[in-house]
Every structure is written in C-alpha cells, then in structure tokens.
Chains A and B, each alone.
Chain A
Amino acid sequence: MQRLTRFAGKIGTSGTFGFAGVAILLLTAIISPAFTPHDPNAIDVLHRMALPSWEHWFGTDHLGRDLLSRHMVGTSVAMAVALGAAFIALTGGTILGLLAAYMSGYVERAILIAFDAIASYPSVILALAAVAVLGSSMVTISAVIGFALIPHFGRVARAQTLAIRRVPFVEAEIVVGASEARILMHHILPNIAGPLIVLASLDIPIIIAIEAGMSFLGLGIRPPSASWGVLLQDGYQNLSESMSPVLISCGVLAVATLAFTLLGETLRKLGDPRAVSNSARYA
C-alpha cells in the first residue's frame, strides 16, 4: 500500500487517474461476462427509462434493461477490440517500419507506398468498406481497424530507427562485434519502443471511438450485444423520452478515452529513464 501511494505520488494526479481508470476498465472487461449486478439482457418494461438510482446506478433503457450491466458488458467488447487492434497495428507497424528503415531500395519504397495507400483512406471509411465485404464480427473489426492504423505506427518506427541508426552507441556496438540482429533487438528496439507504446495508448481512444461509431451506425457489433456504440444508438433513438442514457454512454466513452490518453502520457514519462531518474534523484 505504501509503495502504491509512493508510485501515485511519482506519476501525479493525471497519471494516477490514467492508471486507475485503465485498471478499472480492464477489470470490468474481465469480470463482466461472469458478473454483472443485473442480467444485461433482462427486460423489465415496467421500469423503462428509469433515472439513476440505488437499484440501477446508471438507470435503465427503453426496454428496462440495467444500463450499468450493459455498459459493463460493452466494456469487454470495447477493450477486446481496442487491445486487439492496437496490438495488430503496433506489431505490424513496428516490423514494417524497421524493415523499411533497414532495407533501402525496393523493399523500402514498396512499404512506404503501401503505407501511403492505406493511410490515404480515412480509417473509418476503410473499416466500413471492409466490414461491408467481410461481415461484422469482433475479430474482423479489430483486424480491420488495426490494419488501417499500421501506417501510423510504421512511419513512427521507421523515422525513429533512421534517426538513431547512425548515433555513436550503435557504432560502438558495431565495434564490439554486435551482430545486426543484436543491435536491432537490444539497442534500437528499446530506444524506439517508448514513442510507439505512447502512440498505442493514444490510439486506443481512436479505436474505441471508431468501434463505437461503427456500432452506432449499425455496422459494427450487432444488437442485442451491448457495445458502447449500440448503447449510444439505443439512447439516441429515445432521446425525446430521456437524456440520461445518452449522457451516461457519452460519459463512459469520454472517461475511457481520457484514461487511456493520460496513461499514454504517463507511460511516456516513465519509459524514459532520463525523465524518471532525474525526478527521483532531485526529489
């Protein structure tokens, strides 16, 4: 506990919010299939459109379903899609970016043209087109969004690699006999990983928003599955009866994206040993 408070002190209020927020989101995502306060699909028409109360913390929707439970289930969907897509974009982008930086000539040009081609489509449009062709499931949505974001990571990975390829410590490693693979894995990757991980946590809100947007338009996760976008759509359909479901869904989305953004910012500071130890040393 003492160590936890010390850590919280080091990362500050916003860092604590980011870490705690993301931790709660992930925990919710993990437990919601097994436990929710109510059955998320149980219809109770007598208590439809109820405002938040002790019984229903987030209120109920137009069919009287408990909104807290439905948002909890939606969290699993959002987290699975977000983490899956971020993982695909991060690994794909890093590998291709490193490859582009290390292979000059045709390989580099082919990769860069592919990046430009993918990035020239807005990722939402690309995702919509792909879902129209491939059909919508959680796996296809993650894969498509992840694929659309590969150039984002690839460009950063390539630029970072090019920037440090000729710095003294890389040459020093050549002089002590380190192989190309060793230099890449042990000396270049750790030094470009920081910005990429930050980028990943800053992109997760974008992924969450794309997924919610697609579900809102009816092209993502299908009802009755409770994706945040579906919940927003349900609330929107009944906006004339009550504002509360829409406001709550928006609030959940806002808090989730903010938490990931603050987490990314904090990770950036922690990942840089210079930044950390300086504050630790002079604190």
Chain B
Amino acid sequence: MADDVVSIEGASVLFNRRVHALDDVSLRLKQGDNVGVVGESGSGKTTLSRLVIGLTRPTSGRVSVLGQDLSSSRIPREFRKRAQFLMQDAVAALSPRKTVAALLTEPAKIFRMDRGEFDTRLDLLLERLKLTPALLDRYPHQLSGGQARRVGVARALLLEPELLIADEPTAGLDVSVQGEMLNLLQELRASLNLTFMMVSHNLHVVRRVTNRTVIMYLGQVVEDAPTRRLFSRPAHPYTAALFSANPMLSPDVTSPPILLAGEIPSNVNVPKGCRFASRCPVAQPVCSERPPQLGAIDQEHAVRCHFPFSLSAQ
C-alpha cells in the first residue's frame, strides 16, 4: 500500500556474506501504529530498526519508509527530518565534546531552521522532558543515563519527525525511571501523532505500551499480532514458551513453564527447515525439512509456523 509509513518486503541482511542478521523479513507499519518488536539477543531486532532508519542497507529485498526507497538509493537529508531513531546506548550516541546546548541546537543548524521558532519549541520540549537549564552546559559524560536519554529524545523530536524508532529505550535505566521514560514516550507519541516502533526484550514493557507486537527469532519475524491478542493467545510455540517462562505475565496460571532445550542456533549456519524446530517441544518431522512461511491467520495476525496454536491453550 502506498500510504504505509514503513513497508519492508522480504528483506535480508547478511553481514560478511555469512551472518544472517535478518532473513526474509516483511513488515508494514501504518500511520499512527504503535509497535513493539520483541526477541532475544541476536534475533535481529536492532538490525531491523537500523534497516528502517537507513543505517543498514538490505542485502536483498525491498525497504521503503515514508515513501523513500532505502534499499539502494542515496538517502536525502529531508528523510532524516521525518524519521528519527533513539539509540540503545544513549550516552554513547551523544558527541562527547559537545555540550548539551550545542547538541540540542545542532538540528536547527543542520536544517537552517528559523531560530526564534526553534527556540520556542526547544523550551517547550525541555520543560516537558524535565531537562533543567543547568544541564545545558554539561558534557554527555556528566549526564545520568536517564538525562542522556531525554536529551536524545529532545534531539529527535526537535526535527518534528513522523516516525520514531526506539531501540531499547529503557536499557540501563532504573526501574523507577523506566516507567517515567515509557510514559513520556507514549505521551509524546500520542500528542505528536507519531508512528512509533519500539525494540525491546522486555515483555512487560511491550505489553503495557504497544498495541501491536512483532516477535522475532533468529533473524525472522515469527509472529505479528495485536498486543492484546498475542498475549492472551500466542500462536507460535516460541511465543508461547517465551510467555510461559515469564511468571509475572500470567500469575494465576499454575501450569509449569515450557522449558526450551538447547541453544539458539547460530546465525552463520542457519537450519534448513524451521529455525525453531531444534528447540520446539511440538516439532514434527516436517518442521526440520521445510521452512514455514509467515502466513496470515486472519487480517491482523500472522505467524510463521506449520502448526500454529499447538502449544497454547486452545
């Protein structure tokens, strides 16, 4: 569809011609979507977000964001204004020899914005982000993790983007500050009408703030569904196992957790059949033979499994 904010079709990313960071990923985000991407380390979450922001190019497949083709062509500066990215390591994402003030006014300089208008917007944002003027003279290493993250948010939002990607926006924050950060992002998302994609390995966070969840495993999207439906009735055995291993998600359920045997396979020698077959408790012979495709269960729910729902309570 032309009006999709993000449209990824069959995109793969190969590092050094052998590490399958992403393999045949398709994802669409509509204007105003609020999506969480969940997966363990090495599942390709960060690569996916870098793909959407144009920092990593797909080895094959098609990536189009805000009408801009990111597969091969040069990315125009105008695109940078419309799509913004919050990096996982907020302190390292700030140029170490610039003061906070210099970092915050940089977007205005880059895009030659009207300074009066820009300053009003900056003041408003600083107030909303609870960044005090005393912080403006500091250097990035003098900021706390939460402050650095808020400076990052301010820098991103000063450009008035339409799309905001956040890679682990709560990484390295105290639990008390995590909640504050999430509320803030959601508030800003709603008031600025942003399309928002958040990468996280924290199920609670994704469940609380997003309305659509994408589950990744070994470089592939294995399940994509509205958050509420996904958490109440996961279709993929991996999703089901992920949820059951997390007692806080279903405190009243007394059934024992589904324990997965073995390690996550390597990104270099990917299995021939289903990526999850080697660890799947309900795998059938066909699973290690033929790779399943991401298929739609209905309009909103897609799963990459030969036997969906086989591990969740029907």
Listed in ascending order, the chain A residues whose CB lies under 8 Å from chain B are: 167-169, 171-179, 182, 186-187, 190-191, 273-274, 277, 281
Contact in complex: A175, B85 (CB < 8 Å): yes
- B98, B106, B139, B155: the one contacting A277 at CB < 8 Å is B139
Contact in complex: A191, B110 (CB < 8 Å): no
Contact in complex: B92, A177 (CB < 8 Å): no
Residue in chain A with minimal CB distance to B88: A168
Residue in chain A with minimal CB distance to B50: A171
Binds A, one of B4-12, B76-84, B223-231: B76-84
Cβ–Cβ < 8 Å partners of B155 in chain A? 176
Residue in chain A with minimal CB distance to B80: A177
Complex Cα distance, B250 from A61, in Å, reads: 95
B24 contacts the other chain (CB 8 A):
no
A172-B87, A277-B139 known; A177 and B96 CB under 8 Å?
A: no
A168-B92, A273-B96 known; A178 and B87 CB under 8 Å?
A: no
A167-B92, A172-B93, A177-B110 known; A274 and B80 CB under 8 Å?
A: no
B273 contacts the other chain (CB 8 A):
no
Complex Cα distance, B155 from A277, in Å, reads: 24
- B55, B77, B84, B93: the one contacting A169 at CB < 8 Å is B93
Contact in complex: A177, B81 (CB < 8 Å): yes
CB proximity of B166 to chain A, nearest CB, Å: 12
Complex Cα distance, B102 from A186, in Å, reads: 11
Complex Cα distance, B97 from A128, in Å, reads: 41
Residue in chain B with minimal CB distance to A171: B55
CB proximity of B55 to chain A, nearest CB, Å: 6
A176-B107, A277-B142 known; A168 and B93 CB under 8 Å?
A: yes
Complex Cα distance, B97 from A169, in Å, reads: 11
B111 contacts the other chain (CB 8 A):
yes
Residues 227-241 of B, flagged 1 when their CB comes within 8 A of A and 0 if not, give: 000000000000000
B160 contacts the other chain (CB 8 A):
no
Tell me the B126-160 residues at the A interface (CB within 8 Å): 139, 141-142, 152, 155-156, 159
Cβ–Cβ < 8 Å partners of A172 in chain B? 85, 87, 93-95, 152
Contact in complex: A182, B89 (CB < 8 Å): no
Residue in chain B with minimal CB distance to A170: B95
A176-B155, A177-B159, A191-B97 known; A168 and B80 CB under 8 Å?
A: no
Q: What are 16 sample pairs from A and B whose C-beta atoms fall under 8 A apart?
A: A167-B92, A169-B93, A169-B96, A175-B53, A175-B84, A176-B80, A178-B106, A178-B110, A182-B110, A187-B95, A191-B95, A191-B96, A191-B97, A273-B139, A274-B96, A281-B142
- State the 4 A-B residue pairs at the shortest beta-carbon distance, nearest first: A177-B80, A172-B93, A168-B92, A190-B97
Contact in complex: B159, A176 (CB < 8 Å): yes
A274-B141, A277-B142 known; A174 and B55 CB under 8 Å?
A: yes
CB proximity of B99 to chain A, nearest CB, Å: 10
Complex Cα distance, B96 from A176, in Å, reads: 16
Cβ–Cβ < 8 Å partners of A174 in chain B? 55, 80
Query: Which of A178, A179, A182, A281 gathers most chain B CB within 10 Å?
Result: A178
A187-B95, A191-B97, A273-B97 known; A175 and B89 CB under 8 Å?
A: no
Complex Cα distance, B77 from A214, in Å, reads: 54
Contact in complex: B85, A273 (CB < 8 Å): no
CB proximity of A195 to chain B, nearest CB, Å: 13
Cβ–Cβ < 8 Å partners of B159 in chain A? 176-177
CB proximity of A175 to chain B, nearest CB, Å: 5
Contact in complex: B93, A273 (CB < 8 Å): no
Contact in complex: B110, A273 (CB < 8 Å): no
CB proximity of A232 to chain B, nearest CB, Å: 42
CB proximity of A61 to chain B, nearest CB, Å: 50
Complex Cα distance, B96 from A191, in Å, reads: 8
Contact in complex: B89, A177 (CB < 8 Å): no
Residues 61-92 of B, flagged 1 when their CB comes within 8 A of A and 0 if not, give: 00000000000000001001100110101001
Cβ–Cβ < 8 Å partners of B96 in chain A? 169, 191, 273-274
Cβ–Cβ < 8 Å partners of A179 in chain B? 77, 110
A168-B87, A273-B141, A277-B139 known; A175 and B55 CB under 8 Å?
A: yes
Contact in complex: A176, B94 (CB < 8 Å): no
